[in-house]
Structure 1
Amino acid sequence: MAPYIDLVLRAVSVYLFIIFAIRLFGKKELAQLSVIDLVFILLISNAVQNAMVGPDTSLVGGLVAAGALFVVNFGLKKLIGRYDSIGKLIQGEPIMLIYRGVVQEKNLLSAGFTHAELEAAIREHGIERIENIDLAMLEVDGNISVLSDDFKTKSRRKRVHKTLQSPNATT
């Protein structure tokens, strides 16, 4: 039983490390990974595999590690849903990119967006000009929400450009 407790502790430690590393170094919307992002994720998973299971490469060892990840992931999602402070710590807060047709330059910079990327993102919402947007927010999940027509029309796209969200960003 002790070897399996070790596997659980290893898997949970790696899981938490990767969550906080992504939070620290930025996060990407998974819908539009670049080749570099995909290679990075594949290499990270390969790099931490041995750290999770150690010398135990058995089927049971892999299932115990995977089971521990599922349980911790489920628990963490419940905590995030219940406690806003934990959600803000792990996921960050939305970032205002545009307010009443004016780009919030400081927030745009901290979110890692260029003007060209922002303009492309608003075109995906069917809006031609930044001046026509009342509010554009980079949400914690990497999506951009846009309000227009005097805050009456909301548009939210599931795709977002390859951008990093800064953990220190403010709204």
Structure 2
Amino acid sequence: MVLYSYIDIAFRSVAVYFFMTIALRIFGKKELSQLNTADIILILLISNSVQNAMVGPNTSLLGGLVAALVLFVINFIIKKLTYKYKILNNLLLDKPEILIHDGKLDFKALNKLDISDNELKEAMREHGIEHYADVKLCMLEIDGTISIIGQDKNLKQTHYKRKHNHKNFRK
């Protein structure tokens, strides 16, 4: 009966892991690159709400450790599988998005990703670039950073972390 309790915790933990993975994929994992107060509150509330779903009535130390161990193991396995199998990688992980190519803005991508004109210009300034025409390539990376390669051969490397902004980019 005790073994069944821990197998139940393991099953529940795996189910919650996959639910959270799918939810983050649907609702936008790019937003997690820079957490604001509301994001932190959401994460804390989610962790509290799914705790009981994972351990059920078993609130013992061992029950919590089993749930945590299962989460670590499943995360390790998923990382190995996404590295090995491209189809799983494509299914679970976001792809980088081109925002500017050879000075031309991709307004469709900018609107879809809710990247404002001010946010894009801030990233460009941090990369030492003043005009859109001076951008060879601008990408929103999978971790939420905006990478910019300028037309100038003397490239300046900086690190711009995207902040969530509610004003959409418009033509």
For the superposition of Structure 1 and Structure 2, which TM-score range results when normalised by the shorter chain?
Answer: 0.7 to 0.9
In 2, Cα distance between equivalents of 1:55 and 1:85: 37
Q: 1:39 aligns with which of 37, 41, 58?
A: 41
- TM-score normalised over the length of structure 1: 0.87
RMSD of Structure 2 on Structure 1 (CA): 2.0
In 2, Cα distance between equivalents of 1:110 and 1:156: 25
Equivalent in the alignment of 2:93? 91
Matched, 1:48 2:50: yes
In 2, Cα distance between equivalents of 1:79 and 1:31: 23
- RCO higher in 1 or 2 (8 Å CA, sep ≥ 6)? 1
Measured against aligned partners, the alpha-carbon deviations of 1:61-105 in whole angstroms (never above 9, x if no partner) come to 000000000000000111111112211111121110001111100
Moved over 4 A (4+): none
Check conservation: 1:135, 1:148, Cα contact below 8 A. Answer: yes
In our comparison, the structure showing a higher alpha carbon Rg is 2
Q: Secondary structure at the match of 1:28?
A: helix
| Count of residues in Structure 1 that have an aligned counterpart in Structure 2 | 164
Distance 1:139 1:14, change over 3 A: same
Q: Within 5 Å, which residues of 2 pair with 1:14-93?
A: 14-28=16-30, 30-93=32-95
Check conservation: 1:134, 1:151, Cα contact below 8 A. Answer: no
Identity of aligned residues (%): 47
Check conservation: 1:12, 1:68, Cα contact below 8 A. Answer: yes
Q: 2:108 aligns with which of 92, 106, 109?
A: 106
Shift of 1:111: 1.4
Equivalent in the alignment of 2:126? 124
Q: 1:140 aligns with which of 133, 136, 142?
A: 142
Question: Which 5+ residue runs of structure 1 have no aligned equivalent?
Answer: 165-171
Q: Secondary structure at the match of 1:128?
A: coil
In 2, Cα distance between equivalents of 1:34 and 1:145: 21
Check conservation: 1:94, 1:139, Cα contact below 8 A. Answer: yes
Shift of 1:154: 6.9
